[in-house]
Amino acid sequence: MRIATHRQPRKPAENVIAMINVVFLLLVFFLISARIAPPLPVEVELPTAEGGELSGSPDTIVIGPDGTLHFAGVTGAEATARLADTDMLLTLRVDRGLDGAAFARALRDILAVSDAPLDLIVEP
């Protein structure tokens, strides 16, 4: 009696080059589509606080140590005028050395033109 032996067909070697190509394409896509935050217009030292969580915001208002308002790439009255066009959450970064009266004036100017909610950024 003769037993037939069937050979198993050889499986082709798996090609991982296609998978590597896809990974690099995804990497390039995410690097290109990522939003990179522009640098702050002036260097500020943040005040300190305890507790609370920060929520992110694409719009940042920076008040420098001299009380100058910076927003969306412009400074002073032009920055205040641009605030009237936004109604989304705004992030407020204030220098630690800013006088309280100057901060109150800047906050009054912001609230006069915008009803948008504000987040104050502080160091924990």
Q: Tell me the β-bridge partners of 48.
A: 123
> Which amino acid would we find at residue 18?
A
User: Is the pLDDT confidence value at 53 over 60?
Assistant: no
Task: Say how far apart CA 79 and CA 67 lie, in whole Å.
Answer: 13
- Tell me the pLDDT tens digit for each residue of 54-95: 444 457 888 888 888 888 888 888 888 888 877 788 888 888
Grade residue 124 by pLDDT with cuts at 50, 70 and 90: low
Residue 1 is predicted with a pLDDT of: 59
User: Is the pLDDT confidence value at 118 over 70?
Assistant: yes
Residue 31 is predicted with a pLDDT of: 87
- Tell me the pLDDT tens digit for each residue of 7-41: 777 777 778 888 999 999 999 998 888 877 777 77
Could you tell me the pTM of the whole model? 0.54
